[in-house]
A and B are shown apart, each in its own frame.
Chain A
Amino acid sequence: MSGENQFGFRELLQRSIVDGIRINNPVILKGQYETAYELLRDSIDAGVTPCLVGPPGVGKSLLARKVAEDTARGFFEVFFDENMTPSRLIGAFDPALVVRRGRTVESFEPGPLMRSMVEGGLFVAHELNRATEFCQNSLIAPLEERHYQLFPFGMIKAHDNFAFIATQNPIETSGTYRLSRVLVDRIGCWIRLNYPSRETEIEIIRVNAPAFDLSENALNRIYEVIHDTRENPDLEIPASPRAGIYLARLVDRYLKRFDDEESAIRFFAPSILAKEMKVRNSGKSIQAIIDEILERRLG
């Protein structure tokens, strides 16, 4: 990177730093989402740790963000995988500063969990069942006793506003670890999210398409195509509401290039759907399944 570009980047980075997060589009709190949101708020108010469980793209992260925004808490998140270590989660000492100043507060670089504990933020642990045993163990004390023993400082007590939400995905289990019973026992509320009802999903798609002016017919067609993937026994992982949103955005944006809405859906659907679906060992290709669905729904 040249010095000039680097300078430009730093300036832009500085300008991009915002306080807290804002959700751009309205969050639909209907049906299962209303219940889940209420349970999340109640759990946090009651000091019970909640975990949202559901397939990808059903809005687990969005609900967690919504809670952070509505309760005016700072938002910290971590996506667990094999590379996440307790030191990244909690924080670690900068060895260069330790050499100069010793193990002081200044030489400690906090991780997101420690920051949310100290600042009283909402910590969201995405894909909790991908956390290694080491990371799972690091979560036990903050979840139950709301403190963490950090050498050499001693016991760090969490801010009263500190809250924790976990999410996990029951289908996509590759690389997952079994949650230890000790950790499972400390999660007091298990909130299941499934694919939403027709009415809710169409509304979700509508509010997330930028122009909000897709016709009812187009929205219905998009929903039907997405919904058919969930009924198809050849698919192990069907399309999520997120796929419906992406499809609606593309159709909405480029509709003028096509004769009608159906043609636009037919053009964009294969690229969107193939990306996130997974076929069982039935011998059918993903393309053949998409073609069948489009043929059935769009003629």
Chain B
Amino acid sequence: MEQEPLRYPFSVTQYFIPEFIHRMRRSRDVIEKPSPRQSIAMCSLLLPAYLRKGHISFGDLIKVAVNTSKVENQATAEKIAYEILLDVEEAEDDQPRYEEEAFLGLLSEKSDDLITYLPSDLSEADKGEPHPRLDSVDMFKELSGKPDIGVGPGEDELIRMAIRGWKRERDERSRRNLAEFLKMRLLKLGREFERNLEHLHKTMLRPFEVGDDPELIDEDRSIENIFDQGKSMEEVRYDDFLVKKRDRKRRAIAYILDISNTMFYEMEGVTSVQHSVMSLVPLMWGLRRDRYGLILYESNSHIRKELLDEGDIDELIDDLLMVLTSTTSEVEKGLRGTKGSQTWGGTVPNKSLKWALDQLEGSGDRHEKTCFYFSDFVLEEPDMESPEKMENYQIVERMIDRGIRVVACVSPLAGGELFKPYTSVALKRMRDAGAEILETNGPAKFLERVQSILE
């Protein structure tokens, strides 16, 4: 069938292309909805095929539908194209469920998911694509009067509410959307943090090279340079001009995240692991251009990325966001599959600390080295001292001795009545060993403190 020539190809395409785009936009599997440019590209690509062969087949229609869609949407595009050509009704699953809309109002007033669709009636005048519903319930309206929800303390409140909303929500699609929302907000914080660190870069001068942006020329210093050399105007060469070059401080960073059982204990609707991940994600994003490694630990250590490995930061952040919404047994299943007989859930950080020390030591002398250690620091039994536990602090001391900055990023739950007897000694020992202590009680506040440390 695919290669059968169509008798009236352009009457088919006139129906096929708008219907395809319409269905793609309605599909849940397509996150970034196709724009009118895709329709234009589809028409444009059919023409050479028609001119070359003298006809268009169903196969051509499927090919343009697939190839004008982004790679991650190509399987969905193929399915939808076949459905249209075989005159199959749109899958029930792809219809938006309107009872979800009130909750989805959380995400954004412009979210594609809030689109109210007009009935597909071609006889009606073209009313354009449906618009987002603006009267949807916005749960964040209850924040009115609170700090602005830009980047700042208000952002922390917004993110905390999203996490609480996430926990209540069981519907997979809503959870996925909320995850996207959280990611977006956390990365926004990360970008802001990155910009705030910009001024730490030293400005240096170097000769102009072909391809440099002339806007970067330091005019005063260039003229001085030309005068110093005593050159006439005709003798001046492009490399007599000096351009400003920002010298980025090179950093090597090891991130350690505690995922032991106590990290999943909940207080005021938020767990320690959630506090930690909310601070860790924007921090990692803000410092993503530096060398970094990531390790998670409980009784076992799980290396997610070595310092010198190539890695996909997006993937790592997605993994961390999964930790944020999972129970300890879901994390266990995710990290070691269903098999495995080792103990799980205890608090054994020494291997991770050693790993961080080795990684940072191996990163060369030119880097500024930092270890961010996220935990609730439930490391000690009251009135009990064991050599294994003391080893943790000894490794921290060794790091400090070797010029590595250690930042203990402490969950706010560590200060609660329940954990205080276990955490106070551990935190004192960390401080005595030379670590800097920061509380992770809100990503925006946390990043401000990290910035002051890095400065």
Binding site for B on A (CB under 8 A): 35, 39, 41-43, 45-48, 53, 82, 85-88, 91-100, 109, 111, 170, 172-176, 178, 181, 184-186, 188-192, 278, 281
Contact = CB atoms under 8 A, between A and B. Distances in A.
A85 to B, nearest CB: 6
15 contacts: A47-B44, A53-B71, A88-B211, A92-B211, A95-B208, A95-B217, A95-B238, A96-B240, A96-B241, A99-B236, A111-B211, A185-B37, A188-B68, A189-B68, A190-B74
Given A46-B47, A99-B233, A174-B310, A188 B38 contact: yes
Contacts of B100: none
A188 B35 contact: no
Contact of B212 (A47, A48, A92, A278): A92
Contact of B37 (A98, A173, A176, A188): A188
A98 B44 contact: no
Contacts of A186: 37
A286 B208 CA distance: 44
Nearest to A192: B71
Contacts of B236: 96, 99-100
Contact of B68 (A175, A190, A278): A190
Interface in B282-312: 289, 303, 310-312
A154 B80 CA distance: 45
Contact of B241 (A47, A88, A95): A95
Contacts of A173: 310, 312, 314-315
Given A99-B233, A100-B233, 20 more contacts: A39-B45, A39-B67, A41-B48, A42-B45, A42-B52, A46-B41, A46-B44, A46-B47, A47-B44, A95-B208, A172-B310, A178-B314, A184-B32, A186-B37, A188-B37, A188-B41, A188-B45, A189-B45, A190-B71, A281-B303
Interface string B207-248: 010111110010000100000000001101110110000000
B44 A174 contact: no
B310 A188 contact: no
Contacts of A39: 45, 63, 67
Query: Which of A91, A93, A170, A188: most chain B Cβ within 10 A?
Result: A188
B70 interface: yes
A166 to B, nearest CB: 12
A92 B214 contact: yes
Contacts of A92: 210-214
Contacts of A188: 37-38, 40-41, 44-45, 68
Contacts of B47: 46
Contacts of B71: 53, 170, 190, 192
B69 interface: yes
Contact of B238 (A42, A88, A96, A172): A96
Nearest to B67: A189
A181 B32 CA distance: 8
Interface in B57-90: 63, 67-71, 74
Contacts of A190: 67-71, 74
A122 to B, nearest CB: 17
A191 B70 CA distance: 9
Contact of A85 (B74, B213, B233): B213
Contacts of B38: 188
A46 B234 contact: no
A97 B35 CA distance: 45
Contact of A100 (B35, B234, B315): B234
B312 A87 contact: no
Nearest to A51: B71
B49 interface: yes
A173 B309 CA distance: 11
A174 B306 CA distance: 13
Contacts of B68: 48, 188-190
Contacts of B222: 95
A71 B73 CA distance: 31
Contacts of B213: 85-87, 92
Given A95-B238, A192-B71, A42 B233 contact: no
A39 B62 CA distance: 13
Contacts of A175: 310
A88 B208 CA distance: 12
Contacts of A278: 310
Contacts of B52: 42
A42 B211 contact: no
Given A184-B70, A190-B67, A87 B49 contact: no
A216 to B, nearest CB: 33
Nearest to B237: A96
Query: Which of A88, A92, A172: most chain B Cβ within 10 A?
Result: A92
A120 to B, nearest CB: 19
Contacts of A85: 211-213
B233 A93 contact: no
Contacts of B211: 85, 87-88, 91-92, 109, 111
Nearest to B222: A95
A70 to B, nearest CB: 14
Contacts of A99: 233, 236
A48 B312 contact: no
Contacts of B234: 100
A189 B71 CA distance: 10
Nearest to A100: B233
Query: Which of B38, B63, B74, B238: most chain A Cβ within 10 A?
Result: B238
Contact of A189 (B41, B49, B311, B315): B41
Contacts of B240: 96
Nearest to B241: A95
A48 B67 CA distance: 11
Nearest to A144: B37
B55 to A, nearest CB: 15
A192 B77 CA distance: 14
Contacts of A96: 236-238, 240-241
A71 B237 CA distance: 39
A136 B237 CA distance: 31
Given A188-B38, A189-B68, A46 B45 contact: yes
A139 to B, nearest CB: 15
A170 B314 CA distance: 13
A112 B234 CA distance: 28
Given A184-B70, A185-B37, A42 B48 contact: yes
Contacts of B289: 82
A205 B44 CA distance: 35
A98 B214 contact: yes
A189 B43 CA distance: 12
A183 to B, nearest CB: 11
Given A96-B236, A188-B68, A48 B44 contact: yes
Contacts of B32: 181, 184
